[in-house]
Amino acid sequence: MLFLGEYTHSLDAKGRVILPAKFREPFEEGGYITKVLDGCLALYTPEEFEKVATEMQEKAKRGPTERAAVRSFAAGTEPVTPDRQGRITIPPNLRQFAQLERDVSVIGAFGRVEIWDAGRWDTANRGGERSLAASDSGLDDLM
């Protein structure tokens, strides 16, 4: 499953966010939400999370910095299942990590769904767009 697109939603008072309709089906039986690089959250299908978890266990063998990051990743991972309205609850510790307060951007990132604070996503996205437009070094084989 490829997740593509960008959607803006709001967290409700219980810390829930609605998943875009086209993202919901792969998560009907649940998924995993966790901390990832750049200060956002990632929502993985069970199958994709299993692959990521295996990779993380291998990375933990590299050294103390990697072990610390892998521990934080594992400790910050929560299983989630959308409710009938397609909402998932984001635990308080993950909302704090990603600095989620109200407006969030839910974006497709190929094999996962990312959840960002809307302002932080806007900044990150503008930087990515500048890199694409300028054909920054190292990106020439991207497309």
What percent of the chain shows pLDDT beyond 70?
94
Q: What is the 3-state secondary structure (H, E, C) of the chain?
A: CCECCEEEEECCCCCEEECCHHHHHHHCCCEEEEEEHHHEEEEECHHHHHHHHHHHHHHCCCCHHHHHHHHHHHHCCEEECCCCCCEEECCHHHHHHCCCCCEEEEEECECCEEEEEHHHHHHHHHHHHHHHHHCCCCCCCCC
In this prediction, residue 133 carries a pLDDT of 83
At CA 94, angle to CA 61 and CA 73, rounded to 5?
A: 5
What pLDDT digit, counting tens, does each position of 119-131 carry? 999 999 999 998 8
Q: What is the mean pLDDT of residues 31-54?
A: 96
pTM: 0.91
Q: How many other β-carbons are positioned within 10 Å of the β-carbon of residue 32?
A: 20
Q: How far is CA 135 from CA 130, 131, 138, in A?
A: 8, 6, 8
CATH number for region 6-134? 3.40.1550.20
Per residue in 83-120, pLDDT (tens digit) is: 999 999 999 999 999 999 999 999 999 999 999 999 99
Cα dihedral 63, 66, 68, 69, rounded to 10, equals 180
CA distance 20 to 112: 13
